[in-house]
Amino acid sequence: MVSTTIDHLIAVTTFLVAFFIFISLFSQVIQAALLYQFHSHLAIKCSDILDNILLSFGNTSGVFGLGDPNFEQYSLNPYYVMKLVSSETLVEYPPGSGIFYSNITLGPGDYLLVPLEECVTYETAQKLLGVEGLYGFQLSLTPVIHVSFSNIHESGNSLSFDVNVNGISSPISNANVTCNLFYVIEDNEEDEYPIITFSKASSTTDGSGKTHFSFENIDASKNYIIITTVKVANLYGVGYIYKQALTSAGNVIPFIENIENGTIILAHSWDVKQYENNGALHYNATFFVLNENWELEPVQLLGNYSGHLNYAAGTHGKAYNRTQIPQEYLKSPGVLIVTCRKGNEYGVSVMPWQIQTLSFNITFGDDPSNQEWVATDLRQVLIGEVPYQAKLALWSLKGYQVTKLGG
């Protein structure tokens, strides 16, 4: 009787232990399979949403899209792209006015500040895509052709440098490179604003994607900006570099006040709370249009394209100066160059008119780092004739073990 009971006890205990071990083992396999299913679904969704964004036209109400209805599929409208609210901190100008600008700023002299009221926010995009509360995403647009500069030498009245052209993965050989050198010409009058002129040269890259340029009989001592366009097959790339962005009084920061009519505010950098440098600046804004042959042509701006800006002007009446791109050039890609001067110091700032003219990057949406699982997908798109790599990172905001804790 006792042995039967012991036998029974051992048997039941062993069975229960084994049963739970196997339940655990099987559930692990099932759990892994379910997670794979979720992840696979996320990858498909990522591909769908990326196509939706790139193929839908942003000119229709209730639609979030970047496609240009006037061109073929996967050609993006540069203005829709400019209106994406950058993931950088918003800029308020004039301070305390409650007017905010989306801030795509790459450095102290490179600006693209677009009024927030004309922009599309991440939350709006989520709603229009129908993924609000379900998925988070980040869309990044990166130029395929990357142009950089090295070995810059200034001596007397000459300037030489190397231009390096790279694709996404490798240097690009035999690319046609055109360099436009804009430099400040002599100006001794204390109250005068700086004037720029430009010179041009062309070359072809060698097997390592490099080419050398040398400009003679130019004055590189004050300030200059080099804008380089590259042509590979039918694709273009742009790169630029300048000598110095800031004077001891800061520089002039351009704000796009209205994309539709091309009005641009020129503000003192001290007023924008970017730098502590103060002092009055003389400035000169010049607009260059990129023509069909990808050559830069100067265009006469309207309004106060040159003049004098005092720091702290925002608190003393007049807040800024305003210039305007002529109506006939509003649809053309171009570059705004603003040179400024304080005594013998010369600063510069540049702003693309259409995102591709200076190959600005765009990052739109939330931050994918710290997410549990992020699916990504790639497409190649054209903005103007500049190829960009469009990358969408997508993650789930709902579901078991597919979101981060508390996510």
Partner 1 sequence: MMRTIEVVIVILIITTAFITTSYFIILPSPREVAPQNLKRLGFTILKNLDSNGFLSRAVFSEDEQSWSELQTALSACLPPNVIYNLSVFEVENGVYSLKRTLTNFVGKGAFSYSASYTVSSPDVTYRRVVHKISENGKNLTLYILNCEDANGWWITGYTAQTLALDLYNMLSPYFETTILVNSTSQLLSLLDGNKITSIPTEEVMDAVIINTFGEVVPIPSEYCQGGSRESEGYDSDNGSYARYCYTLGKKVNQYNWKWVSIVGYPLYYVTNTVALSNSQNNYGIYGIKRVGPAGLNAFLQGLDNKAYTYSTSWLTKDITQAYKVLVHFTADAYYRSNYYGIYPSPYQSASRALPEWLENSYHLTIEADVFEPVNGYHAAATFKHNSGGALVAIGLTITPDIRIAALALLMYYCPVIYKETFTAPGKSRLVILQLGEMGGV
274 binds partner 1 (CB under 8 A): no
User: Is residue 378 part of the contact set for partner 1 (CB under 8 A)?
Assistant: yes
Which residues make Cβ contacts (< 8 Å) with residue 305, sequence separation at least 6?
Answer: 284, 285, 286, 323
Cα distances from 371 to residues 133, 402, 406, in angstroms, run 15, 9, 11
> Judged by CB under 8 A, does residue 185 bind partner 1?
no
Q: Reduced to 3 DSSP states, what percent helix, strand and coil does the chain have, rounded to the nearest 5? A: 20, 40, 40
47 binds partner 1 (CB under 8 A): yes
Q: Which of 142, 221, 376, 403 is the binder for partner 1 (CB under 8 A)?
A: 376
Binding mask 138-167 for partner 1 (x = CB under 8 A): ------xx--------------------xx
Q: Which residue has the tokens 């209106």?
A: 83
Q: Indicate which single residue of 304, 379, 397, 407 sits in contact with partner 1 (rule: CB under 8 A).
A: 379
Residue with Cβ nearer partner 1 (346 or 388): 388
To the nearest 10°, the Cα dihedral for 85, 88, 90, 95? -150
3-state SS class at 249:
coil
Residue 120 as a binder of partner 1 (CB under 8 A): the answer is: no
When the beta carbons of 184 and 230 are compared against partner 1, the nearer one is 230
Counting Cα atoms < 13 Å in the Cβ hemisphere of 218 gives: 25
The residue range among 61-69, 244-252, 281-289, 329-337 that interacts with partner 1, by the rule CB under 8 A, is: 61-69
Question: Interface with partner 1 includes 404 (CB under 8 A)?
Answer: no
Residue 25 lies near partner 1 (rule: CB under 8 A) = yes
Stretch that binds partner 1, among 181-189, 265-273, 315-323, 372-380 (CB under 8 A): 372-380
Count of other CB atoms within 10 angstroms of residue 269: 28
Q: Residue 339 and residue 333: Cα distance in Å, rounded?
A: 20
CB atoms within 10 A of CB 350: 24
* Contact pick of 84, 113, 139, 175 for partner 1 (by CB under 8 A): 175
Give the nearer residue to partner 1 in terms of CB position, either 179 or 230. Answer: 230
Tokens standing for 40? 């696979």
DSSP 320-385: -EEEE--GGGTTS-EEEEEEEEETTEEEEEEEEESGGGGT--EEEE---TT-S-EEEEEEEEEETT
Residues that bind partner 1 (CB under 8 A): 3, 7-8, 10-12, 14-15, 18, 22, 25-26, 29, 32-33, 36, 39-40, 42-45, 47-49, 51-52, 55-56, 59-63, 72-75, 128-131, 133-134, 144-145, 166-170, 172-175, 232-235, 373, 375-382, 385, 387
